[in-house]
Amino acid sequence: MNGGPPPAGTPVFFTIDPALGTVTPASTDASGFYMATFTVTTATPGTVMSTAAALGIDSNTVIIDIENCIG
């Protein structure tokens, strides 16, 4: 890889508190990008922090603010 994108189909794993939400499994495309969907599992407003990892390398923490949830 030498600093390039990961190969297409590389799995991306997420750390997240399952009491607050879930993230769909993801894998990279040919450019090394991925898309995932976060689903709220609580109607309680708050902040969720998640980190993605691929090939053993963690991303920066992503902060998701939950507001105005309708249960």
Give the tens place of pLDDT for each residue, 13-45.
999 888 888 888 899 999 989 999 888 887 777
**Cα dihedral 9, 23, 2, 30 sign:** positive
Q: 66 by DSSP, 3-state: which?
A: strand
Question: What is the spatial distance between Cα 24 and Cα 16, in angstroms, rounded to a whole number?
Answer: 11
Residue ranges making up the domain that contains 37: 11-66
Please state, rounded to an integer, the average pLDDT across all residues of the chain: 84
Q: Is residue 2 part of a domain?
A: no
For Cα atoms 7, 11, 3, give the angle at the middle one, nearest 5 degrees. 40
Tell me how many domains the chain contains.
1
pLDDT of residue 70: 61
Tell whether 4 is covered by a domain. no
Q: How confident is the model at residue 1 (pLDDT cuts 50, 70, 90)?
A: very low
To the question of pTM greater than 0.75 for the whole model, the response is: no
Instruction: Name, in order, each residue with C-beta under 8 angstroms of 15's C-beta and a sequence gap of 6 or more.
Output: 50, 51, 53
In a domain? residue 45: yes
